[in-house]
Structure 1
Amino acid sequence: MAMNVPSGRGGDEPDVMVDINTTPLIDVMLVLLIMLIITIPIQMHAVKTNLPVGNPPPRAVQPEVVLVNIDFDGTITWNGAPVSGEADLEKRMADVAAQADQPDIHLFPNGLAPYRVVAQVMAAAQREGATKIGLVGNEQ
């Protein structure tokens, strides 16, 4: 059994509410929930693709590979032959780019090779139009 006892203040002032008003909090939560539902993309879309089954047939003609090595001291070799300078490197890159079926250029820099030399070789390939270039040996 409970009994409501008036406070000792007397007078006709109402009692102070000490409970938190949760109505605005619930309103904000519902608005955020609706925004979340609207902004989440629907994951039910599927793209059907026809993937080939089995291994593809081997290429009839294997592409020519040019191996460009960069040694720890910045020495550049083209298929084992030393490159004499930047002009010689650009001439060789231009010869590769001029071919109808460009050979693959495998760039193999030493781990201690200066980055400047590696960037120089890649920039020469880009300037001359050689598009098939890849870094080899960075698996280490």
Structure 2
Amino acid sequence: MGMNVGSSGGSGEPEVMMDINTTPLIDVMLVLLIMLIITIPIQLHAVNLNMPVGNPPPTEIKPEVVKLDIDERSVVFWNGEEIGDRATLEAKMKAAAEQAVQPEVHLRPNKYAKYEVVAAVMAATQRIGLTKMGIVGSEQFVDGK
């Protein structure tokens, strides 16, 4: 049962074990744990959003597309026109950023262009405030098997 306490008193009887039987304690703890798990409500990991119903109205004004190309020599082209230096590029970007409807900037780097030049063009685009920018032609960077 629980605990046996006693002394043999020097007789020939074997010594009495004085340890607590922990099996019933473990059983009770397991039952309490199972009851706790069952009674906890199920937590929903969802965020309820009120989304608009239907399709948004089409925009009347389509933004113009500016094609920024960077060739294998790391030369930057603005709509096919070669840009000589960074100041000219930034002046064109500022003029585009100040338009009422900002143009979409399609950046198309050559896979052999220097990363430094591509990163500088992307940083200038962000710093000046052109928000509609995408990298076009990235399939050239995937190795064909």
TM-score under structure 2 length normalisation: 0.66
CA separation in 2, counterparts of 1:91 and 1:117? 17
Structure 1: runs of 5+ lacking an equivalent: 1-9
Q: Secondary structure at the residue paired with 2:74? A: coil
CA separation in 1, counterparts of 2:120 and 2:70? 11
Q: Secondary structure at the residue paired with 2:67? A: strand
Q: Note the 1:1-140 alignment, pairs <5 A.
A: 11-14=13-16, 21=23, 23-24=25-26, 27=29, 30-31=32-33, 34=36, 42-43=43-44, 47=48, 49=50, 51-53=52-54, 58-140=58-140
Amino acid corresponding to residue 128 of structure 1 in structure 2: I
Q: Secondary structure at the residue paired with 1:107? A: strand
Amino acid corresponding to residue 43 of structure 2 in structure 1: I
Structure 2: runs of 5+ lacking an equivalent: 1-11, 141-145
Q: CA RMSD in A?
A: 3.6
- Decide whether aligned partners of structure 1 residues 119 and 27 sit closer, same or farther in structure 2, where only a CA change above 3 A counts: same
Partner of 1:7: none
Which structure would you say has the larger RCO, counting Cα contacts within 8 Å and 6 or more residues apart?
1
Q: Detail structure 1 runs of 4+ shifted over 6 Å in the superposition.
A: none
Taking only the aligned residue pairs, the percentage that are identical comes to 38
CA separation in 2, counterparts of 1:91 and 1:67? 16
Q: Secondary structure at the residue paired with 1:120? A: helix
Q: Deviations over 1:90-111 (max 9, x none)?
A: 1111111111211111111122
How many residue pairs match? The answer is 128
CA separation in 2, counterparts of 1:63 and 1:91? 19
Deviation at 1:32, TM superposition (A): 9.0
- Decide whether aligned partners of structure 1 residues 110 and 20 sit closer, same or farther in structure 2, where only a CA change above 3 A counts: farther
